[in-house]
Structure 1
């Protein structure tokens, strides 16, 4: 019996000791809380949504690499980077589909952002809120941002998985077709538009609004040639209840840090130079953009991307009402005659680059400094009202309402002191094709370097056949490498295809 008591006592001691050890080790890490200890409060919900916005500061997206895909791959830009593979990915010479800076990093960060959206949409509905409207707005922001990222996935890769719940490492989501991706974008943005407020105040300025959701929805419909649906979406901003919130401002103020979130802004990414550190997910990570560091002229930035000089010629073809150069050129491009034309130097220097070169000026900080770095604080105006007005005109023209479309183009032209369109180009009349052709150039002069041109070329069918591509190649020789039916989309990262048996590489790759 004594031996039995000793055995029982020993077992109890061991049991208590083991239990104590487990309790000592089972501590919550305040820096990396598990799901079971998060998504419990309104504060958690807000942090979850803020984490989605924080993806704007990651290298694969709007901090750096996405501009190489949206701006340099279009006929507006190109690369003479000594980093050969980086330059090849702007001229349709894709050898290694797993090239990090050209493909994998952007794909990863797009889906990382979508994952964060899915976390919010899966967990926040279970949280009790004192104010149900606040909860609805947070969910609306998550839907907007998921639709936003799927929009760019559709523009770049087209046939991607549509993932709507938080993924686990063993998941192998099915590949969607482009129409299926667009359908999800439509759904997310439509639902977001009903949940989001018309405007924000105070520290919340810069979050997605109803107008931002409807503008993105209109863009989505346009890429599919759903012109009537696009007009309905844009109506809110142009002729409907939201029009009082938007207007045109001094052109240059759309690309500087001096008048951000102004009336022309429909949605802009909030950059800051407060944390001059590395990019990442930490509380003190860089919240600036690297774009100008990579696109600035040689000896000012890395100069991995620059503008095509043909755009300078286009700006100078038509004079203003008072017979001057289109003032938009002054704030759009650095080019050899900038100082002679407008009296402006380039980051405080006279021209010292090749005579046939040009560089993107929008979002640069030459107006107050002489160099660039990785911490540019100038907000990226992803959608501004001038873009909406020109898209609205395009939609009306495609619907056979060409005569009504003129007024919206004229509103944008008048801001830059240009003659009314019918006065400058009377031959257009109500001819839909002629109006469309001129509108293509109107969009270029207004929106050059604002990451919309690649989507425009796709929407217009300018990349659908060899004859059309040959015309683009007259402006941009890189398009001589463009293969119709193939380069309209990027290859999927091969690592994704290898790891997911439900994925198949994009056509002709």
Structure 2
């Protein structure tokens, strides 16, 4: 059952008429201006709910951001007949204004940030019966401003830092990514103070203290601030936020049957109750399009596929019973799926290449045989397995390789694999070997969950030609990768042209 997030009323961005009048000074009497709004608690609640609605926009988590985070990484690729779309997953950036490649994601990112800034600027002036309710609203706005800046920093790095409601004439200054990280840290630390440890059932889907700490750990780790990341993760694993467990059935993380379960730290709430587009009208969809675009040919568009090296990686190690890792069955579609697992979901009428694979997570094959634009399956942005593997990485980086093993073993035990020490005794207490194995453990557990691109950046695997050459062996798209250039996207050219305070990345 979907909770608060997908039943919110559509809330459009407030007009700028209080600060920017039209030349004819004609106002639509149906428009609500900033001066007229932001008076009541219900205004504040609708304002913060409008931030959640940004998850359903096609530039973000409804559709296109997955092309940047999953398909650009070595886990995925595109063989779309739409050549320009496919080129943007293989580092062939010709038109910096390609809408689906990045411009719509930039637009919707800053639109989401604008909504956060509106709440943060206006809600403090509203009188609440209970001040804690006001604090929670402001904390949610800070959390989401941090979240959207986080992904913008991962994708573009040096970008404008906008902390107040925008007006059409603004020309925001570009900031170094270190300043972006600092603001994200500030927002998350402040949101942590006023977010609750949990929400009541009818508010499921809102971020709590653990979600703030989890994103803090992510931003610390991207900066290689290992000690700070360790503290953030310990809040979730051993501290006051230690309320999570791995679910017994791995696939429960990727269907709509057991959402918001004990493994979920933060997930986007999707629903299929509205069949509109991704605009601002009352019938706007609250769905994910990912399954439609990533499904195998004949049941979806197949604009995004998984690299076949993942199938082979899963088969390198059998479980304690001598069987294949069950995660392979629920992570990927591939030609031998039925032979390997007796999985009758496999449809022989699908068009397969000899070594082709597709992402299965989030598919709805458990009750239907095709996809559409209205998937109701929630997207787990952070789950506990990710937290455990991150903690193992942090312990390894801070000199406690021996202590890191147990957290990898917790993830492996769920799928009946031997302990890491038994399966890979060659690692020993070697920090470098442990990290190399952990890279694989993260791929096997988290493939297709939009973390691989940030992982590659954090590990420095995109920083040298030698490391990129290793990636090429499993993903030929990286033959196009230019070290010192393609680790970040070009800034949309339209933004560079219209804002003298914004400079295109010099490598572009």
> Shared fold by TM > 0.5?
yes
425-434 vs 278-287, greater mean Cα deviation = 278-287
246-255 vs 359-368, greater mean Cα deviation = 246-255
Aligned to 1:361: 360
Q: SS of the counterpart of 1:144?
A: helix
Q: How far apart are 1:343 and its partner, in Å?
A: 1.3
Task: State how far apart, in whole Å, the 2-side matches of 1:249 and 1:189 are.
Answer: 31
Q: SS of the counterpart of 1:411?
A: helix
Aligned to 1:47: 46
Task: State how far apart, in whole Å, the 2-side matches of 1:138 and 1:425 are.
Answer: 48
Aligned to 1:397: 396
Aligned to 2:463: 464
Identify unmatched segments of 5+ residues in structure 1. 1-24
Q: SS of the counterpart of 2:243?
A: helix
- Contact between 1:347 and 1:367, CA under 8 Å: does it hold in 2? no
Q: How far apart are 1:184 and its partner, in Å?
A: 0.7
Q: Cα deviations across residues 100-137 of structure 1 (Å, max 9, x unaligned)?
A: 00010000000000000000000000001111111111
Q: How far apart are 1:349 and its partner, in Å?
A: 4.3
Task: State how far apart, in whole Å, the 2-side matches of 1:249 and 1:83 are.
Answer: 40
Higher share of residues assigned helix: 1
Task: State how far apart, in whole Å, the 2-side matches of 1:59 and 1:406 are.
Answer: 40
Matches within 5 A, 1:365-376: 365-376=364-375
Matches within 5 A, 1:140-179: 140-179=139-178
Matches within 5 A, 1:253-332: 253-332=252-331
Task: State how far apart, in whole Å, the 1-side matches of 2:57 and 2:27 are.
Answer: 33
Structure (1 or 2) with the larger CA radius of gyration? 1
Q: 1:26 to 1:400 in 2, by over 3 A?
A: closer
Q: SS of the counterpart of 2:267?
A: strand
Aligned to 2:92: 93
Residue 444 of structure 2 corresponds to residue 439 of structure 1: no
Q: Cα deviations across residues 339-390 of structure 1 (Å, max 9, x unaligned)?
A: 0111114465465411110000000001110000000000000000000000
Task: State how far apart, in whole Å, the 1-side matches of 2:328 and 2:369 are.
Answer: 20
Number of aligned pairs? Answer: 483
Under a length normalisation based on structure 2, what TM-score does the superposition of the two structures give?
A: 0.94
- Contact between 2:252 and 2:258, CA under 8 Å: does it hold in 1? yes
Aligned to 2:128: 129
Aligned to 1:195: 194
Task: State how far apart, in whole Å, the 2-side matches of 1:191 and 1:246 are.
Answer: 26
Aligned to 2:138: 139
Q: SS of the counterpart of 1:48?
A: helix
- Contact between 1:61 and 1:106, CA under 8 Å: does it hold in 2? yes
Task: State how far apart, in whole Å, the 2-side matches of 1:263 and 1:120 are.
Answer: 30
Q: 1:465 to 1:167 in 2, by over 3 A?
A: same
Under a length normalisation based on structure 1, what TM-score does the superposition of the two structures give?
A: 0.93
Task: State how far apart, in whole Å, the 2-side matches of 1:351 and 1:299 are.
Answer: 6
- Contact between 2:274 and 2:286, CA under 8 Å: does it hold in 1? yes
- Contact between 1:347 and 1:371, CA under 8 Å: does it hold in 2? no
Runs of 4 or more above 4 Å deviation: 25-28, 346-351
Aligned to 2:66: 67
Q: 1:431 to 1:274 in 2, by over 3 A?
A: same
Identify unmatched segments of 5+ residues in structure 2. 1-25
- Contact between 2:56 and 2:288, CA under 8 Å: does it hold in 1? yes
Q: What value does the CA root-mean-square deviation take over the aligned residues?
A: 1.2
Task: State how far apart, in whole Å, the 1-side matches of 2:66 and 2:76 are.
Answer: 10
- Contact between 1:334 and 1:346, CA under 8 Å: does it hold in 2? no
Q: How far apart are 1:194 and its partner, in Å?
A: 1.0
Aligned to 1:234: 233
- Contact between 1:246 and 1:264, CA under 8 Å: does it hold in 2? yes
Q: How far apart are 1:244 and its partner, in Å?
A: 2.3
